[in-house]
Amino acid sequence: MNKFNINNLDLFYGETHALKNISLNIPNRQVTALIGPSGCGKSTLLRTLNRMNDLVENVKITGDVHFDGNDIYQDSDVTALRMRVGMVFQKANPFPMSIYENVAFGLKAQGNKSKDEIDAIVEESLRGAALWDEVKDRLNSDAFGLSGGQQQRLCIARAISMEPEVILMDEPTSALDPIATHKIEELMDELRKKFTIVIVTHSMNQAKRIADKTAFFWMGELVEHNDTAELFNNPVDQRTQGYVSGEFG
């Protein structure tokens, strides 16, 4: 079963044709990795899935992006979409407030939960992000006091507190050391049991380790999409072969 069905998608930034006739299915409760050289359209595609590109001036989008069968570009309720499709960015971006308040912020904004309910969700979300045991005794401490890897896991906890169905991750480990990267990858392996995950990564080894499916992009085109092991071991297109072999990238 697919969570997203993308059909004949084209995206323009002004005169720049950034995505070219993309058709791609993203399966439910699996990890899909988007790989390719810088500027190939990976992050642009990721941001079409929660309409973040709407915030960019002079963007034109044609084609269809169906989420659970509904075309998200025909649905005007972008806020509801972004609650269902959470996002974690390349650089950890905790709010300038306590660890607790970072996770509780969106819940309080909804205004329909009691303090006990919020407390329970904060704990559940921090546990879900494999962070609870590290911060449970300092929930009122400044989030900026956490390490980079912990800050990124806090951002993941903040995202899952809103009970999304999908988590988009735009190079979430690129600024982290190997130990923190390993923890995030272990976390993604656990999160796929509950969430659909789409990750942009420059690391082919990371895609091999964590992704069920991998899509390779080149100059705005989707060149190849397959089971991860198949794409890396038996690439069909010469551009994919060159990229995964390290010949160019």
Q: Where are the domains of the chain?
A: 2-244
Span 102-107, average pLDDT:
93
Q: How far is CA 169 from CA 15, 27, 75, 109, 200, in A?
A: 27, 16, 23, 23, 6
Ramachandran assignment for 219, one of left (phi > 0), alpha (psi -120 to 50 degrees), beta (any other): left
Both tokens of 199, joined, read: 């990750």
* Strand partners of residue 5: 25, 66
**CATH node for 2-244:** 3.40.50.300
Kindly report the length of the chain.
Answer: 249
* pLDDT of amino acid 103: 96
* pLDDT tens figures, 119-132: 999 999 999 999 99
Question: Is the pLDDT at 137 greater than 60, yes or no?
Answer: yes
The confidence band for 8, taking pLDDT boundaries of 50, 70 and 90, is very high
* pLDDT of amino acid 147: 94
* pLDDT of amino acid 67: 96
* pLDDT of amino acid 110: 82
Higher pLDDT, residue 180 or 227: 227
Q: Which residues contact 127 (CB under 8 A, 6 or more apart)?
A: none
The confidence band for 57, taking pLDDT boundaries of 50, 70 and 90, is confident
Span 34-45, average pLDDT:
94
Q: 245: how many CB neighbours lie within 10 A of its CB?
A: 12
